Amino acid sequence: MPSLDDVYRKFGVASEAAQLLETELGNILIFAGAVDQNLIDEPNEERGTTLFKKINRQTLGQLLKGLESSSESVDHFEGLLAKALKARNRLTHSFYRQHNIRRNSEDGRVKMLEDLELIHHDLLDAYKAVMRLSGVDLGKVPLNQLPTGHLPI
């Protein structure tokens, strides 16, 4: 039966998926903003920094609204993104409150893990869709070819 550590671990995995989604949405919006402001051909450190800071402080909901108003077409997976936003908000703001004392029993922890699995699935589906906007189909990348460490910045 699952331990409380298993629940905490899965919560962390689901949180990572939410952050990956936020990061990729931010990357898309930074690139779109850089193109719109002609920062690719005419770099400008001040405008680039302003653009980055503006996008970096946005919530997932704000990033999604920014994506909707950008030139990127998300109509075909708007439902996935809305579902991911709802899942992420529930994970971050109310997951433990909703499950409350379930953490104290094996059956309760099973229910918590099942819920976290659904949340994680919703977040990953949205992340994969957003990655396809960037030209990366994660479903076609062999797992043994993924990098296992961080690349230098």
Averaged over successive runs of 10 residues, the pLDDT of the chain (153 residues) comes to 95 96 93 92 94 93 82 75 96 96 96 97 94 85 65 61
Element housing 82 (H / E): helix 78-93
Q: Which residues contact 2 (CB under 8 A, 6 or more apart)?
A: 106, 109, 110, 112, 113
- Answer whether 113's CB lies under 8 Å from 10's CB: yes
Class of residue 101 by CB neighbours under 10 A (exposed 0-12, middle 13-18, buried 19+): exposed
What pLDDT was estimated at residue 137? 86
What pLDDT was estimated at residue 138? 83
What pLDDT was estimated at residue 144? 67
Distance between the two ends of the chain, CA-based, in angstroms? 41
CA–CA dist 85, 59 (Å, integer)? 10
Helices 45-56 and 4-36, axial angle in degrees (round to 10): 150
Match 């653009």 to its residue by tokens.
51
What pLDDT was estimated at residue 73? 65
CA–CA dist 31, 34 (Å, integer)? 5
CB atoms near residue 61 (< 10 Å): 14
What pLDDT was estimated at residue 69? 72
